[in-house]
């Protein structure tokens, strides 16, 4: 991977979201102040237990009947090997969302006031600009933009052309062309990762991964990762690369795999995350780095994703 790849991927990645945030930055008003930096170990716990569904299909070292699929409630979204955002989703009715940002590769995190009671997505655009898709008690998703690394937030705007899981309906996602797409049919959407305004992938409860290339209108099979708990993808030139982390008996921690249609998921690394829990693990892979969050732990990889360190 190189800078040329990074530039191409970033242009595709930001095409719609940058436009949305630019509109918000022009029309919004500053609304909040930052809280002081906190240790990663002080991140607030999740406020609610998300819906679960049984996983089907084989999982290395795990009895399928005993495994539950839990939608991701610990989010991470990286810009590169230095800057990343992480969050907990909270719940529309109970609140509890948290938002944090690091600008030193995860060594320290700044805890911010969450702009919404619940957070479905957090997305950095550059070192200072980012947006959150979140919701209040009615669970209606809105977009909140910041141009100062989350120290202040602008007045929320309606989501138009964006992607996010619907926190009150775990089988549905908000997509640019579908307000309530069901990529996994009647099954729970464990995680969602997008590459452009048209393309995204969803991780389903049974470990299958599905892809859309038309803004969420239609979805097709894109590979399988039994036991997967989080998903991330990116474009390398024009090729879609898909990664998942899973909790399996073959790895004491979480296992990073590359998902390829028509093939068994290829093991990339075993990351020795301490006591990972389903729903509390998030993954973000960029062309320059990979990030895994598990509860209050942060793990970082650079290069080919085979070597990881806790930060």
List pLDDT tens digits, range 220-269: 999 999 999 999 999 999 999 999 999 999 999 999 999 999 999 999 99
93 with 137: CB under 8 angstroms?
Answer: yes
List pLDDT tens digits, range 43-83: 333 333 333 333 333 344 444 444 677 999 999 999 999 99
Distances (CA, A) of 208 to 36, 38, 69, 244, 298: 40, 37, 12, 11, 26
247 with 278: CB under 8 angstroms?
Answer: yes
Q: What number is the average pLDDT over the span 145-171?
A: 97
Q: Which DSSP string do the residues of 295-311 spell out, in sequence order? A: TTEEEEEESSSS-EEE-
Q: What number is the average pLDDT over the span 207-211?
A: 98
| pLDDT value, residue 216 | 98
List pLDDT tens digits, range 89-125: 999 999 999 999 999 999 999 999 999 999 999 999 9
Q: What number is the average pLDDT over the span 209-225?
A: 98
**DSSP state for residue 101 in the 8-state scheme:** E
| pLDDT value, residue 69 | 79
Cα torsion angle, 294, 45, 101, 143, sign: positive
Q: What percent of the chain has pLDDT over 70?
A: 78
List pLDDT tens digits, range 161-204: 999 999 999 999 999 999 999 999 999 999 999 999 999 999 99
List the domain boundaries for the chain. Answer: 3-288
pLDDT at residue 29 tops 50? no
Q: What percent of the chain has pLDDT over 90?
A: 77
| pLDDT value, residue 67 | 64
pLDDT at residue 36 tops 80? no
Q: Which residue has the higher pLDDT, 294 or 29?
A: 294
Q: What is the pTM assigned to this prediction?
A: 0.81
| pLDDT value, residue 303 | 86
Q: Strand, coil or helix: what is 41?
A: helix
| pLDDT value, residue 21 | 40
- The span from the CA of 264 to the CA of 266, in Å, is 6
User: With the CA atoms of 115, 193, 191 and 177 taken in that order, what torsion angle do they form, in degrees rounded to the nearest 10?
Assistant: 80
Whether CATH 2.60.40 fits 3-288: no
């Amino acid at each position: 991977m190189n800078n040329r790849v990074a530039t191409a991927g970033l242009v595709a990645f930001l095409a719609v979201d940058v436009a949305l945030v630019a509109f918000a930055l022009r029309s919004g008003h500053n609304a909040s102040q930052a809280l002081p930096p906190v240790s990663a170990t002080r991140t607030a716990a999740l406020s609610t237990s998300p819906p679960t569904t049984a996983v089907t299909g084989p999982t290395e070292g795990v009895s399928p009947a005993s495994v539950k699929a839990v939608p991701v409630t610990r989010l991470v979204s990286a810009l590169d090997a230095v800057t990343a955002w992480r969050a907990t989703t909270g719940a529309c009715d109970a609140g509890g969302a948290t938002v944090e940002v690091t600008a030193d590769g995860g060594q320290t995190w700044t805890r911010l006031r969450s702009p919404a009671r619940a957070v479905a997505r957090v997305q950095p655009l550059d070192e200072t600009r980012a947006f959150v898709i979140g919701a209040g008690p009615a669970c209606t998703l809105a977009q909140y933009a910041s141009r100062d690394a989350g120290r202040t937030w602008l007045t929320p705007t309606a989501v138009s052309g964006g992607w996010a899981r619907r926190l009150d309906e775990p089988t549905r996602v908000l997509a640019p062309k579908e307000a309530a797409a069901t990529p996994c049919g009647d099954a729970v959407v464990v995680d969602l990762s997008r590459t452009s305004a048209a393309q995204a992938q969803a991780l389903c409860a049974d470990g299958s991964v599905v892809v859309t290339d038309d803004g969420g209108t239609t979805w097709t099979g894109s590979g399988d990762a039994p036991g997967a708990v989080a998903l991330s993808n990116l474009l390398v030139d024009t090729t879609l690369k898909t990664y998942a982390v899973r909790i399996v008996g073959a790895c004491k921690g979480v296992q990073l795999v590359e998902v390829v249609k028509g093939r068994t998921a290829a093991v990339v690394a075993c990351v020795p995350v301490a006591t990972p829990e389903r729903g509390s693990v998030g993954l973000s892979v960029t062309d320059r780095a990979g990030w895994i969050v598990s509860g209050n732990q942060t793990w970082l990889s650079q290069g080919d994703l085979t070597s990881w360190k806790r930060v």
